[in-house]
Amino acid sequence: MQTMIARELPSRDEVISMFETVGLELCAYQLVMHPVAASWHDLADKLAMRADSFLARLPDADFAAGLAALRAHAAGRQRDEPVTEEISFFAFRD
C-alpha cells in the first residue's frame, strides 16, 4: 500500500510547487500529529469497513492479511491507547 500511496499522492515538494505555480508563497510547513482512532482496536474496526479508496483497491487477500496483522497488534496493546499519524500542514499566502 505504501507504494500505491507514494505513486498517487503528491510529494511535499510537488504540493509546494503546485501552489507556487499559481502565485502563492509558502509561509509555513510542519508535520502535525493527527488523531486517527481512540485505540488500535478502534482503528482495526474502522479499517475493516474498507471505506478508504486505497484500501478498497487492495486485493482481498492482501487486505485480509493486513487487517489480521493489525488486529494481532491491537490485541497486544492497551485498549485506551490513542492512534495518531503525522500529516503535513501547509500555509500559503498570495
Residues 22-62 have pLDDT tens digits of 999 999 999 999 999 999 999 999 999 999 989 999 999 99
Question: Which of 15-19, 33-37, 49-53, 79-83 has the lowest average pLDDT?
Answer: 79-83
Q: Which of 16, 12, 6 has its CA nearest to residue 31?
A: 12
d(CA 16, CA 29): 10
| CA-angle at 92, arms to 86 and 93, nearest 5° | 160
Grid cell for residue 16: 509546494
The helix/strand count (H/E) of the chain reads as 5, 2
At residue 79 the predicted structure's pLDDT band, cuts being 50, 70 and 90, is confident
With beta carbons less than 8 A apart as the criterion, state whether 28 and 91 touch: yes
Q: What is the pTM of this model?
A: 0.78
Sole residue written with cell 500511496: 5
